[in-house]
């Protein structure tokens, strides 16, 4: 049994470590990866917080140490191509290239580390490539269909115990001025399917985001949007988590006890996700103070990462009667039920009159009904069962365009 003095020392050390972490200028990825039983890791923070740098450092380090290649995803084809220009100069920061002594070359969407070259040429240019090793593939979501059936998935990849599927979706949210030309969630899921198929273990998918003024498509997909800074582990309850760990045969008694005693949030266990809503440190705020962005748009969430959450439309009362169902798509996750005339919840198999927000949904559609729903939303006539429902409904309305009569 641990002594009181030893316990005090541990507590003191933990507090000191926490203070160090709070005072850091840039984000450090290490601690969030300790949730090894999770598949998805969402990192949300202001620009220049060091999120992408930390993930790149981690993935390159694992490539050098274990030979693990990684996948780097962007939303659009153009943004992915820019990372590959000039031998992937914008994919890996120059100091990381020096730190890990990388010699990078590209071929199509692949990035290779040259392990052996011939003698330098008389003009001083590098010698002929003799040996090279695949380090990364840079892909985009907008053209995922072009990767179908192209042999991206290797069913023997995990036969090597050192291998791990390391995947990162950088800039997971559209910018406000960016054209909305495809469904991020649909394309992301299909691109991941291209890469890992039915793989469930040894998969690490990190999604990095800046803009949080609007509901993130992917965060809405996992039914969770953080309201306060902090780390959220999306599990349903402690017992199921322990059962899951036992199932993987990786849970020692000591670790199991630590897991049981932790205060996990009561969210969907099946998501196997961690959401890290990064609080800007004092060092970060000091560095950003007085910059051009701070002077011109001091309250923009992409720089401060601080958002005023509107909870005035969240209704906490009891619901009595469902009135009608609003459908934005054939996808049932985009169906909502209106209760008691104005309270919106996610659809839960209610069999009521349907208002279709688009034609060709196999439902009766009128422009008038669609415009009425948009007008009610704009006039703040609707209330919502919880914040995530509000954000998801808002996100669907945002992409709608009222039709003329």
Q: Each residue of 351-363: pLDDT tens digit? A: 999 999 999 999 9
Domains of the chain, start order: 25-304 (3.40.50), 322-398 (no CATH)
Q: List the Cα angle 28/29/35 in 5-degree steps.
A: 140
Q: Measuring CA to CA, which residue among 193, 200, 203, 206 is closest to residue 247?
A: 200
- pLDDT, residue 394, reads 86
What is the mean predicted confidence (pLDDT) over 395-403? 70
- pLDDT, residue 169, reads 95
pLDDT above 90: percentage of residues in the chain: 41
In angstroms, the CA 384 to CA 391 distance is 9
Q: Quickly list H helices, 248-366.
A: 253-261, 282-288, 292-296, 301-304
Count the Cβ atoms, other than its own, within 10 Å of residue 37: 17
- pLDDT, residue 23, reads 57
Residues 6+ positions from 255 with CB-CB distance below 8 Å: 245
- pLDDT, residue 255, reads 40
User: 154 to each of 107, 124, 150, 196, 382, how far by Cα in Å?
Assistant: 19, 39, 11, 8, 49
- In this structure, are residues 137 and 83 in contact, taking their beta carbons and an 8 Å threshold? no
Which residue is it, tokens 């196997």?
272
- pLDDT, residue 55, reads 94
Paired sense of beta strands 322-327 and 353-356, if any: parallel
**Which has more pLDDT, 38 or 99?**
99
Q: Measuring CA to CA, which residue among 324, 336, 328 is closest to residue 360?
A: 328
- pLDDT, residue 382, reads 95
Mean pLDDT, the chain, whole residue set = 80
Q: Which helix (H) or strand (E) holds 388?
A: helix 387-398
Q: How confident is the model at residue 322 (pLDDT cuts 50, 70, 90)?
A: very high
pLDDT at 405 over 70: no
**Which has more pLDDT, 198 or 403?**
198
Q: How confident is the model at residue 243 (pLDDT cuts 50, 70, 90)?
A: low
What is the mean predicted confidence (pLDDT) over 149-166? 85
For the chain, the residue count is 405
Q: List the Cα angle 109/115/118 in 5-degree steps.
A: 110
**Which has more pLDDT, 396 or 299?**
396
Q: Quickly list H helices, 149-300.
A: 184-196, 217-221, 238-247, 253-261, 282-288, 292-296
Q: How distant is the alpha carbon of residue 219 from its chain centre? A: 7
**Which has more pLDDT, 404 or 331?**
331
- pLDDT, residue 403, reads 46
Q: How confident is the model at residue 291 (pLDDT cuts 50, 70, 90)?
A: low
In angstroms, the CA 233 to CA 226 distance is 11
In angstroms, the CA 268 to CA 240 distance is 11
pLDDT at 264 over 60: no
- pLDDT, residue 200, reads 85
Which is it for the CA torsion 347, 351, 353, 355, positive or negative? Answer: positive
- pLDDT, residue 391, reads 84
Question: Which of 63-67, 81-85, 129-133, 211-215 has the lowest average pLDDT?
Answer: 211-215
pLDDT at 377 over 90: yes
- 3-state DSSP call for residue 357? coil
Q: Each residue of 170-207: pLDDT tens digit? A: 988 877 667 777 888 889 999 999 999 888 889 999 99
- pLDDT, residue 147, reads 79
- pLDDT, residue 63, reads 96
Q: How confident is the model at residue 80 (pLDDT cuts 50, 70, 90)?
A: very high
**Structure tokens given for 311:** 């909870």
Q: Measuring CA to CA, which residue among 109, 216, 228 is closest to residue 171?
A: 216
Q: What is the pTM of this model?
A: 0.76
Q: Each residue of 199-236: pLDDT tens digit? A: 888 999 999 987 555 557 788 788 887 877 888 877 65
User: 350 to each of 61, 253, 335, how far by Cα in Å?
Assistant: 51, 45, 10
Widest pairwise Cα distance in the chain: 83
What is the mean predicted confidence (pLDDT) over 121-150? 87
**Which has more pLDDT, 151 or 236?**
151
- pLDDT, residue 211, reads 55
> Which residues in 89-110 are b (16+ Cβ under 10 Å) and which e?
eebbeeeebeebebebebeebb
In angstroms, the CA 325 to CA 329 distance is 12
User: 57 to each of 21, 80, 115, 141, how far by Cα in Å?
Assistant: 18, 19, 19, 23
């Amino acid at each position: 049994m641990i002594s009181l003095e030893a316990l005090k020392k541990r507590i003191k050390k933990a507090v000191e470590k926490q203070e160090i972490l709070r005072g850091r200028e840039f984000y450090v990825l290490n601690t969030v990866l300790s949730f090894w039983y999770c598949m998805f890791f969402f990192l949300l923070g202001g620009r220049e917080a060091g999120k992408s740098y930390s993930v790149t450092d981690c993935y390159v380090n694992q490539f050098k140490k274990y030979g693990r290649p990684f996948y780097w995803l962007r939303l659009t084809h153009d943004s992915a191509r820019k990372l590959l220009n000039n031998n992937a100069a914008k994919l890996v920061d120059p100091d990381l290239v020096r730190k890990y002594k990388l010699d990078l070359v590209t071929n199509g969407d692949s990035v290779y580390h040259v392990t052996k070259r011939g003698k330098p040429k008389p003009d001083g240019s590098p010698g002929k490539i003799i040996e090279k090793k695949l380090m990364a593939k840079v892909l985009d979501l907008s053209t995922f269909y072009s990767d179908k059936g192209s042999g991206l998935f290797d069913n023997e990849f995990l036969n090597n115990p050192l291998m791990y599927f390391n995947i990162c979706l950088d800039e997971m949210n559209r910018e406000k001025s960016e054209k909305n030309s495809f469904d991020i969630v649909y394309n992301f899921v299909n691109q991941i399917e291209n890469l890992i198929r039915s793989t469930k273990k040894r998969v690490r998918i990190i999604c990095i985001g800046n803009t949080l003024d609007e509901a993130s498509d992917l965060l809405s997909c996992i039914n969770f949007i953080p309201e306060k800074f902090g780390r959220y582990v999306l599990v349903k309850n402690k017992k199921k988590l322990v059962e899951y760990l036992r199932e993987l045969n990786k849970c020692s008694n000591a670790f199991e006890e630590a897991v049981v005693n932790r205060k996990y949030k009561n969210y969907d266990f099946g998501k196997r996700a961690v959401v890290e809503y990064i609080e800007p440190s004092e060092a970060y705020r000091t560095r950003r103070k007085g910059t051009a962005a701070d002077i011109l748009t001091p309250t923009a969430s992409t720089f401060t990462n601080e958002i005023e959450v509107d909870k005035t439309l969240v209704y906490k009362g009891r619901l009595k009667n469902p009135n009608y169902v609003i459908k934005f798509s054939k996808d049932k996750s985009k169906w909502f039920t209106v209760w008691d005339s104005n309270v919106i919840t996610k659809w839960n198999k209610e069999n009521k009159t349907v208002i279709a927000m688009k034609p060709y949904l196999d439902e009766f559609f009128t422009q008038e009904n669609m415009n009425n729903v948009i007008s009610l939303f704009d006039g703040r006539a609707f209330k919502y069962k919880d914040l995530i429902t509000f954000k998801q409904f808002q996100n669907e309305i945002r992409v709608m365009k009222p039709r003329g009569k």
